[in-house]
Amino acid sequence: MLEHGGRLHEAARRHGIPPGDWLDLSTGINPRGWPVPELPPEVWRRLPEEDDGLEHAARNYYGCTSLLPVAGSQAAIQALPLLRPACRVGIISPGYAEHAQAWRRAGHEVVPLAPDDIPCTLDELDALVIIHPNNPTGHAFDPARLLDWHARLAARGGWLVVDEAFIDATSAMSLARHAPLAGLVVLRSLGKFFGLAGTRVGFVLAEPSLLEALRERLGPWSIAHPSRHVARLAMEDETWQATTRTRLAQDSTRLARLLAAHGLAPHGGCALFQWICTPEAARIHEALARRGILTRLFGSPASLRFGLPATAAEWGRLAQALAEVMA
Amino acid sequence: MLEHGGRLHEAARRHGIPPGDWLDLSTGINPRGWPVPELPPEVWRRLPEEDDGLEHAARNYYGCTSLLPVAGSQAAIQALPLLRPACRVGIISPGYAEHAQAWRRAGHEVVPLAPDDIPCTLDELDALVIIHPNNPTGHAFDPARLLDWHARLAARGGWLVVDEAFIDATSAMSLARHAPLAGLVVLRSLGKFFGLAGTRVGFVLAEPSLLEALRERLGPWSIAHPSRHVARLAMEDETWQATTRTRLAQDSTRLARLLAAHGLAPHGGCALFQWICTPEAARIHEALARRGILTRLFGSPASLRFGLPATAAEWGRLAQALAEVMA
């Protein structure tokens, strides 16, 4: 298994600080997520059914008619490489490591690519996996450029896979409304923007034949019934979505400014996190952890990812800790 | 996809009866399941973590130290056949159809076996899949006999897979406390006895090397965080479990007597359902459905499965409908 953010229990043990005392900025999950109401008891008892309104809500939310709910985009990340014979796949790097691991494990040749290397390499690839905006670098592409790459790949039976886990707050960049197109696979998730990572609900937007193959492979009832129920309600709540888009834009800017004020000007970011390359990354990560603030440390390149604080007290705590650590 | 019980929305549409007006006896799920309390908000927001106490609770509940939580035993049913090279697998028949489908899809040769055919066929098999007690027939085996079959299979690298989805109310029959043994795979689920089918939580009890291969294949976070939280609490609630075992035994007997009183003496059953073979199965199924009572119809052999009513009103409604339909 790969390492991930959000390993709070582990950090709590290592630093001797109880889990409840941490400010966890390690994940990029909206800390003020969609507020889950009380649920009807039957969602725990009954098996989920496919015609429960979730797909309808998702079609409206994404502006796409051809989609499949999955148990988090992780489920799709693992299954997609099994739907192609061994091929050569370019994967944006650095980026969320589960993609490369899944394609390698399925026997494909993985070519890690920096964004600038993609255009000159594209003609040698059968598939290209983009994380958009990228995690952890925050790198974003012009959607027209992605569509051009898709057209070149699809013309020879290739795939463009776009993992849009962090795109909801800036959805004008999304390729969702262009789906379904042959050879285009868009991955979405309710984890980050909706702050519902615990529910394990994501979607694959793609042509029906690919979705059917995926559906067979994933089998029935892979998403919990309470999760389907909550996901439907959250996707229907357009008022909360609009308010949250505005607030995340403000908070993200505020985080970038706070970090810059302490000598940690971000090298990239998006609405849900900021990313800082610094040879001091490990020292800063450790010093913040000793103060009960968990960030995500990356080794190559040496860098840190900061998620958003939720409350005035949390913003104050982060500012105070940065002042001490960066003094 | 195979057909299953619990397709209430579909039945509601077909018969023009709103979903809320049905008495759904089609599933074998305990209708008085473990009562889910209000949940802490962070279970929706945060990714689940492996060291959250669920495995500890499960080890106590099953009396087995080597286990893996999965997103319903369905997830294990699909993944297990992928962990062996193509082989010859005997599967109890009639039985829950997902087993045979999963082994066939993975390229194995499936031999459907009636319980009486197993002893003389065992030496020609690489793996044997038992559903215990069987669904829908309710057939149960002597655990000593299952252990003998396991020993014969394991001696030549074979597997005995025992799906114990319906065993919790009669757990003395379970092989759980004998696991881990090389070549023994026990599948358990919180869907039926705990009445938590919506949560999608099950367990595989097997030797560590097999669990590790399964864990890699299923990937991280396949179970929703609220589901893990609820599952842990339910498995720790020994008072509820004891009360429920007693009540299910009473209700199951009551259901068998009620059916027999209307000319439908069960051919088999367990604590959670009764099973009746009758050439009239389709007619009775349809006549009950017109009265808003959903049962599970099987074609081969022509038979019906009845789950348990929950309340006095539901028992009365079933009795009334049976009196009309079987008049």
Neighbouring residues of B159: CB distance < 8 A, sequence distance ≥ 6 = B84, B126, B127, B128, B153, B183, B184, B185
Specify if B38 maps to a domain: no
pLDDT digits (tens, 9 = 90+) for A5-29: 668 888 999 999 998 999 999 999 9
Q: In which band, very low, low, confident or very high, does the pLDDT at B3 lie, cut at 50, 70 and 90?
A: low
Answer whether residue A4 shows pLDDT above 80.
Answer: no
DSSP per residue, B198-239: GG--EEEE--HHHHHHHHHHH-TT-S-HHHHHHHHHHHH-HH
Residue A237's pLDDT band (cuts 50, 70, 90): very high
Tell me: do A62 and A156 sit in the same domain: yes
Closest Cα in chain A, distance from residue B117 (Å): 30
Domain boundary among B206, B236, B266: B236
Q: Is residue A38 part of a domain?
A: no
* Domain end residue (candidates: B175, B204, B236): B236
Choosing from B181, B215, B236, the residue where a domain stops is B236
Prediction ipTM score: 0.94
Residues A51 and A176 occupy one common structural domain:
yes
- Rounded to an integer, the average pLDDT of A48-63 is 95
- Assess whether pLDDT exceeds 80 at residue A2: no
Q: Does B51 have pLDDT greater than 90?
A: no
Of A24, A41, A47, the CB nearest to B6: A47
Residues A65 and A208 in one domain: yes
Q: Tokens in use for A115?
A: 């964004």
pLDDT (mean) for A164-184: 97
**Chain B residues with CB-CB distance to A31 below 8 A:** 45
User: Which residues does chain A have within 8 Å of residue B6's beta carbon, measured at their own beta carbons?
Assistant: 46-47, 49
Q: Answer whether B234's CB lies under 8 Å from B291's CB.
A: no
Given a contact cutoff of 8 angstroms between Cβ atoms, the answer to whether B161 and B80 are in contact is yes
CA–CA separation, A188 vs A163, rounded Å? 7
Q: Let me know whether B90 and B206 are in one domain.
A: yes
More confident residue, B10 or A202: A202
Interchain contact, B10 vs A226, CB within 8 Å: no
pLDDT of B197 > 90? The answer is yes
A17 Cβ contact list (under 8 Å, min separation 6): A11, A292
Domain assignment present for A36: no
Same domain, A81 and A226: yes
Cα angle for residues B303, B309, B313 (degrees, 5° grid): 130
**Cβ(A184)–Cβ(A158) below 8 Å:** no
At position B139, the amino acid (one-letter code) is H
In this prediction, residue B8 carries a pLDDT of: 85
* CA dist., res. A175 & res. A172, Å (int): 8
A195 and A75 share one domain: yes
Residue of A nearest to B199 (CA): A224
Average pLDDT, chain B: 96
pLDDT of res. A8 = 85
Of B46, B71, B191, the CB nearest to A198: B46
Question: Does the pLDDT at position A174 exceed 90?
Answer: yes
pLDDT digits (tens, 9 = 90+) for B60-118: 999 999 999 999 999 999 999 999 999 999 999 999 889 999 999 999 999 999 999 99
Instruction: Give the residue from chain A lying closest to B8, CA to CA.
Output: A49
Could you tell me what percent of chain B has a pLDDT over 70? Answer: 98
Of A171, A209, A215, which Cα lies nearest the Cα of A193?
A: A171
- Quick check: is B40 in a domain? no
CATH classification at residue B134: 3.40.640.10
- Convert the pLDDT of each residue in B115-164 to its tens digit: 999 999 999 999 999 999 999 999 999 999 999 999 999 999 999 999 99
Is there a single domain that holds both residue A255 and residue A299?
yes
Contact by Cβ (8 Å): A46, B197: yes
pLDDT for B5 beyond 80 = no
Mean pLDDT across B207-226: 95
> Does the beta-carbon distance from A198 to B226 stay under 8 Å?
yes
Q: Is-contact A160 A191, C-beta < 8 A? A: no
Residue A84 shares a structural domain with residue A232: yes
Among the partner-chain residues B198, B215, B219, the one whose CB lies closest to the CB of A224 is B198
Name chain B contacts of A24, Cβ cutoff 8 Å.
Answer: 46
Q: Are the Cβ atoms of B200 and A225 closer than 8 angstroms? A: yes
Q: Nearest CA of chain A to the CA of B154: how many Å?
A: 29
Number of domains in chain A: 2
Cα nearest neighbour of A20 on chain B: B42
Residues A206 and A263 both lie in one domain: no
pLDDT at residue B6 tops 70: no
Give DSSP secondary structure letters for B16-53: T--GGG-EE-SS---SS--------THHHHSPP-TTSS
A71 vs B46, B71, B230: nearest CB: B71
Three-state secondary structure call for residue A268: strand
- Residue-number span of the structural domain to which B280 is assigned: 8-28+239-325
Contact check, Cβ <8 Å, A226/B198: yes
Asked whether residue B126 falls in the same domain as residue B65, the answer is yes
Read off φ and ψ for residue A182, nearest 5 degrees. -55, 130
The pLDDT of residue A58: 98
Residue B35 lies in a domain: no
* B249: CATH: 3.90.1150.10
Does one domain contain both B305 and B213?
no
CA distance A31 to chain B (A): 8
Which chain B residues are Cβ-neighbours of A198 within 8 angstroms? Answer: 42-48, 224-226
Q: Is residue B124 part of a domain?
A: yes
**At residue A118, does pLDDT exceed 60?**
yes
Query: Which residue type occupies A61?
Result: Y
Q: Name every residue whose Cβ is closer than 8 Å to that of residue B301 and which is 6 or more positions away in sequence.
A: B94, B277
Is residue B87 within 8 Å of residue B107, measured between CB atoms? no
Q: How many residue pairs from chains A and B have C-beta atoms closer than 8 A? A: 155
Among the partner residues B6, B41, B230, nearest to A44 by beta-carbon distance = B230
Residues B148 and B291 in one domain: no
User: Would B119 be classed as within a structural domain?
Assistant: yes
B44 → closest Cβ in A33, A44, A47: A33
A77 found inside a domain: yes
Separation between Cα atoms, residue A313 and residue A251, nearest integer Å:
14
